[in-house]
Structure 1
């Protein structure tokens, strides 16, 4: 109880810090203090000058109303108009009115605060290990995951409510079916090949849940069958894959455009390519014959033991996920600027087209790029935030360590909780015994399976969607 009280103190301190730092925002700093610049659309006067359209004075009707009857002036200009857009730095006053700005501000800042809470909790529990107390930092991590899921769901929902998004709607439906099929295929792969931990988690859950039902005097054949649980996992995985589809395509487009600017800068090109390829490396870390076998089991010639222990390999996976997310956040301003540069690229493509376009459509084509900046930022940040905090929950609830990569961790006896839960309890304490037995159902093995599969699948969906987007850019070179 003392440790739980200490965790409550940490939580209260963080709530107080959040209130004190409400005027400072890491999310706003990423958008407004990293040198991002937006493109300004030309006004009607400039368009008329370039297109040679005469600047007539507006004619008036009776009562002083003009011909446009209060509507915006509309005229046509050639598509091949030689137009170079002016730029302006992105400021806090510019972004505050953008769509989904509040959601972007909330998820980024709350994720930062959660990371601070998690670090403080990890340091404290490393000094004073938890016994029967619940780690409150897991609640914060779970909230981040749920908020990220809700935001991605809101973004995807726009494709089903807009009448102009028929193609995007069809893409979401196809993606759901494809990811559902892939997930069902993944879930039948043996643990010797893909160690997501679903089968051991189910075995542990089934055994402990059956004992719990017997202890409560309930007659039951046990929890749900493995087939039903795996199908439920597959449906969840298909939803995640669908939500990651358009963010993945968007990230691939921004990566493609960023490489155009750094072809001659080898260091930045290397970082961008490493940033793009790391999800593939993360996916391979759960494929036993490719990574774990060579790093933890095989003894190479001239060596007496494998390259690393099993615990060190588990820690390596966790650290690489954290480093990958950190690299993506560092490169985020460059990727967002590549998106903002789309306004000028749209005009450069339009110059090659014949025909004419109205001034309103031309201005909307340019202004819409900046208008959706926060939407693009959410598509970039939400998937990696979800991967990060699922990994942190996987580490903590799965009983892994951050230090096993550097020195061996001694195995802890797992029989302590069992003896405590099986002690004789009378009267009012029987409820506490039932609660302890219920906690015994959700063991570390169960958490390893649930969060191991969730972490690996998010990395896999992240990799698949960005790879499809990159393939689309390579073969079709859309603009």
Structure 2
């Protein structure tokens, strides 16, 4: 209690979680998802097995000069028919297998840190629901922002590989086209009236403009205000285009894994339904921010035989937040199945190769099979990072927007920060805080 009184509850929660991270360094939820969910990988055939199946004589495979299988440290190379009937062996994915994979450290960090941040956020929400904050910043927002920035950095580093590799001309062109397409879509979305799309740019800009203008006037500065709304919307459009570009290949990867997963679970209707729901939920969440499609029917329109709408505006906002959390939980729960569908790509590649004519070298054949497992952590990051960003953006949206987690179950007191048609924000408190900060800066200087 003395520690809470001196440091504050939020800082105590942060310090406790930092200590937990240090103590539980050997325990990893991310590693458990990869190595303890029954995933298995395909082993590529060794040279001796390929020689036996292809009928390659050992003398023919040797070097003519020295009669050795390797020359100057280079691996032995020989040709085998593409239609060779090969049965790949499988092995369970273990920690020793994945620890050397590329981006393994980034995968472990982002998943585990997201779990720790979720714990901090839940503890902060419980505390603030009992003891509302007064003139105090919510430290859990810093944790959420860090997760978003880490996810953005990882996706940016993955996309950067397409621009640094000489063999990624197609991927590079796809990224450029995706950026232009998402920029156009974002600009079209931002010019749509707020009565149709709940973007929230116009009321946010108006509030910021009023507060900033009054602050500048009180300081005796002559200014017409901050940057114009057009510049602000264009900056947001560019940001949205960058995010869309980073999500392009993860989206394509998830679509392919979903398609492959349906092949294995087409007979099980429940699993197929969950897979389809998992794939369709992002589109459903997008519809919830289109007023005429969802909010109008649920919170405004009164159907025949009813005296009031189906739900209140606050309950609708809570439903959107809970659906975001449900989508993330569902995706994490189905992650092992999706990753196994990706690992099965090695066998599918081999099956397709059997239908081709001609010959292939043993090195190319082994690389074709082994590369699937070598990119496992990259695929895991492409699967987890987008939903992590969406989750913590939603959590920040809830806290900073003043929404509630329980409004869907019972009515809460309606305030100007959470109602749909938001009232103009009183700027007196904001101006006073700006003045106090300005005076403190003058004192320090």
Residue 258, structure 1, aligned to residue 266, structure 2:
no
Residue of structure 2 in register with 1:9 after alignment:
12
SS of the residue corresponding to residue 210 of structure 2 reads: helix
Residue of structure 1 in register with 2:369 after alignment:
366
Matches within 5 A, 1:173-188: 173-188=176-191
CA distance in 2, matches of 1:413, 1:287: 21
Contact residue 215 and residue 431 of structure 2 kept, 8 A: no
Contact residue 7 and residue 121 of structure 1 kept, 8 A: yes
4+ residue stretches of structure 1 with deviation over 3 A? 1-4, 57-62, 64-67, 411-423, 429-436
Among residues 299, 311, 316, which one is paired with 2:314 in the alignment? 311
Residue of structure 1 in register with 2:351 after alignment:
348
CA distance in 2, matches of 1:434, 1:322: 42
Residue of structure 2 in register with 1:215 after alignment:
218
Change (3 A) 1:416 1:370: closer
Contact residue 315 and residue 404 of structure 1 kept, 8 A: yes
SS of the residue corresponding to residue 360 of structure 2 reads: strand
Residue 115, structure 1, aligned to residue 118, structure 2:
yes
Residue 42, structure 1, aligned to residue 45, structure 2:
yes
Residue of structure 2 in register with 1:202 after alignment:
205
Matches within 5 A, 1:276-425: 276-412=279-415
CA distance in 2, matches of 1:307, 1:191: 22
Matches within 5 A, 1:163-178: 163-178=166-181
CA-to-partner distance for each residue in 1:196-234, whole Å, 9 max, x for gaps?
Answer: 111111111111111111122221110000000000000
Residue of structure 2 in register with 1:70 after alignment:
73
Change (3 A) 1:142 1:422: closer
CA distance in 1, matches of 2:30, 2:142: 22
Residue of structure 2 in register with 1:125 after alignment:
128
CA distance in 1, matches of 2:63, 2:329: 59
SS of the residue corresponding to residue 88 of structure 1 reads: strand
How far apart are 1:60 and its partner, in Å? 8.2
Residue of structure 2 in register with 1:237 after alignment:
240
User: Which 10-residue stretch deviates more, 410-419 or 359-368?
Assistant: 410-419
Residue of structure 1 in register with 2:194 after alignment:
191
How far apart are 1:195 and its partner, in Å? 1.1
Residue of structure 2 in register with 1:452 after alignment:
none
Residue of structure 2 in register with 1:471 after alignment:
none
Contact residue 3 and residue 133 of structure 1 kept, 8 A: no
How far apart are 1:413 and its partner, in Å? 7.7
Contact residue 4 and residue 134 of structure 1 kept, 8 A: no
Among residues 247, 255, 275, which one is paired with 2:278 in the alignment? 275
Matches within 5 A, 1:57-96: 58=62, 68-96=71-99
Contact residue 175 and residue 245 of structure 1 kept, 8 A: yes
SS of the residue corresponding to residue 135 of structure 2 reads: coil
CA-to-partner distance for each residue in 1:415-474, whole Å, 9 max, x for gaps?
Answer: 999666677x9xxx96447689xxxxxxxxxxxxxxxxxxxxxxxxxxxxxxxxxxxxxx
CA distance in 2, matches of 1:3, 1:116: 23
Q: In structure 2, list runs of 5 or more residues that go unmatched.
A: 418-423
CA-to-partner distance for each residue in 1:144-178, whole Å, 9 max, x for gaps?
Answer: 00000000000000000000000000000000000
How far apart are 1:131 and its partner, in Å? 1.7
Change (3 A) 1:36 1:70: same
CA distance in 2, matches of 1:388, 1:360: 43
Change (3 A) 1:418 1:178: closer
Change (3 A) 1:363 1:179: same
CA-to-partner distance for each residue in 1:351-389, whole Å, 9 max, x for gaps?
Answer: 000000000000000000000000000000000000000
Contact residue 207 and residue 425 of structure 2 kept, 8 A: no
Contact residue 321 and residue 391 of structure 1 kept, 8 A: yes
Contact residue 216 and residue 434 of structure 1 kept, 8 A: no
Change (3 A) 1:328 1:413: closer
SS of the residue corresponding to residue 99 of structure 1 reads: coil
Q: In structure 1, list runs of 5 or more residues that go unmatched.
A: 437-479
SS of the residue corresponding to residue 24 of structure 1 reads: coil
How far apart are 1:70 and its partner, in Å? 2.2
Contact residue 148 and residue 385 of structure 1 kept, 8 A: yes
Residue 136, structure 1, aligned to residue 139, structure 2:
yes
